Structure 1
Amino acid sequence: MTQTDIKPFTKEDLEQADVQLLRDGRWGNARVSVANINGKRWTIKDFSDRHWLVKNSFAKFVLWRELKAVRKLHGLEGVPTEAFMVTPHMLAIEYIPGRVLNRVPKKEVSPTFLEECEEIIRSIHARHLVHLDTRGTSNWVMQVNGKPALIDFQASVDTQALPQKIRSFMEDMDIGGVYKKWKKYCPDEMGEFREKENERIAKLRKLWVLRGYFGVKKRNAKHGKPIDN
């Protein structure tokens, strides 16, 4: 067994760990928790108790896709850099401490923070990947040091083999999610270029069919206690 084959922990370790539920999800969603194991926190996405058809088809597809995305982004700042399959139906991803953006007071979101969000998106695109779920605030985290991070790459797409027009369109959808936050948090500092780009992308977005969760509008799910830091 090589060093890269060694998993940081096993399912048995997880069963003995301090685990806090974040989101129970619906029948087609993972049960999402945060586990503290050996002094390190991990986000756990678990389809183990879902219907056998879900966990042996759709679940495997989205978990492996997120795993490959995290590995593709290894070394970048502002994204998770570690992930591995605990079981065929369970993925562990490096937990990024901080507050999700929808729990951050508006006055704390500065132009510098939003500029750094743009840098994260462009760095991801430079690795031939798009996130495709940047418009909401639940996938953006304000880290303990005040810098942004982008999480949850379950909907991401590898763009390396795509035609340039399709790739550019998807990248516009990503950066448009950041311009939306400029409009919400710092509209006076947005500038003419971002204003025009936001308007252009808003028109393009009418052609974008994958809204919500893979084209399906999200519904309420059972949530655990939110975690800050």
Structure 2
Amino acid sequence: MIKNDLLAQLQHKFPKHIFEQQYLSVVHKGRFANAIVYRYKDDKFDLIVKDFSQSPWFIRKSFARISVNQEYKGLSRLADLNAVANNFSRLSPIAVAYDYIEGTPLRSLIHEDKTLPVNFFSELERQVAKMHRKGIVHLDLRNMGNILCGTDGKPYFIDFQSTISFARFPRWLQRFMRGTDMSGVYKAWNKLSVEPLPQAKQDYLVRFNHVRKRWIFKGYPIQRTYAWGAGIFAQFLNSDIVRSITERL
């Protein structure tokens, strides 16, 4: 029934194409407040679809709508980046679809003891810097599963549920947010590059990791209060934000 509804939504969005269930498969089964991730692949379309239809009703009426809205807005804001899928659609208030990117998550390459050329990471760094110039942070690039090495050898990033505009935050927190993204680039560079991470970038990564482990517990009381408040708000929006800041190295 859920799959039929999803196919009907795709059909409504692309009325000139016939969508068939045999081409729809589950990539990842979400738990509780997470979407089920599908892949639809036929001779014309190759799509990732995130759908919250099987979540409890109170998730569908609250968190799911926020999550889909965040993902759609993130894709919209970053559509002209080479590292982002630039064809996407909101199928319903609780479902979003975008082009499937063929590639391997960096997390898998790390587990396989693979390496990548240094120009891959230089390009990833450029793409993240371009994202920041648009006033947007991803906030979950330290999760190596959200960065892909495409079949074309180029970097891509996925999963935009935690993507937000940072302009409304204080400057010190903006720097930390941007640092969360860039440290994810340098973390991957350090683990996967055929060449060592340049010393200046290594120093940046070490400094950021040092601050990141202690930022909530140091500084002026007003900063600590704001940090905790931002953390609680982020957890409500998407637990991925909190994980990206607090995950262990």
TM-score (norm: length of structure 2) = 0.76
Show structure 1 runs of 5+ residues with no match. 1-5, 218-229
The 2-side partners of 1:17 and 1:60 are apart by: 28
Q: 1:99 to 1:53 in 2, by over 3 A?
A: same
Instruction: Look up the match of 1:134.
Output: 141
- Distance in 1, Cα, partners of 2:101 & 2:13: 17
2:240 is matched with: 213
Q: Which residue of 1 aligns with 2:68?
A: 63
| 2:230 corresponds to 1:203 | no
The aligned counterpart of 2:170 is 163
Change (3 A) 1:59 1:126: same
1:225 aligned residue: none
| Among candidates 182, 191, 216, match of residue 175 of structure 1 | 182
Q: Does 1:22 align with 2:27?
A: yes
* SS of aligned partner of 1:76: coil
* Structure 1: distance between partners of 2:212 and 2:53: 35
Higher alpha-carbon deviation: 101-110 or 197-206? 101-110
RMSD: 2.5
More helix by share: 2
Report the AA paired with residue 127 of structure 1: K
Poorly superposed stretches of 4+, deviation over 6 Å: none
Which of the residues 72, 75, 78 maps onto 1:73? 78
The aligned amino acid for 2:205 is N
CA deviations over 1:99-131 (Å, ceiling 9, x no partner): 222233444412111111111111111111100
* Aligned-partner SS, 1:213: helix
In structure 2, list runs of 5 or more residues that go unmatched.
1-10, 217-230, 245-249
Q: For 1:137 and 1:112, locate their aligned partners in 2 and report how far apart those are by CA, in whole Å.
A: 18
SS at match of 1:84: strand
Corresponding residue of 1:151: 158
Correspondence for 2:51: 46
Q: 1:85 aligns with which of 73, 87, 90?
A: 90
The 8 Å contact of residues 71 and 82 in structure 1, kept in 2 or not, is answered as no
Q: Secondary structure at the match of 1:59?
A: helix
Alignment of 1:92-111 (within 5 A): 92-104=97-109, 105-111=112-118
Where relative contact order (Cα < 8 A, 6+ residues apart) is larger, the structure is: 1
**Could you say if the C-alpha distance between residues 67 and 184 of structure 1 is closer, same or farther in structure 2, counting changes exceeding 3 Å?**
same
Deviation at 1:183, TM superposition (A): 2.0
> In terms of Rg, which structure is larger?
2
Aligned residue for 1:86, secondary structure, equals strand
Sequence identity, in percent? 27
Supply the distance in 1 between the matched residues of 2:62 and 2:164 (Cα, whole angstroms).
Answer: 18
Task: Check the 8 A contact 1:9/1:86 in 2, yes or no.
Answer: no
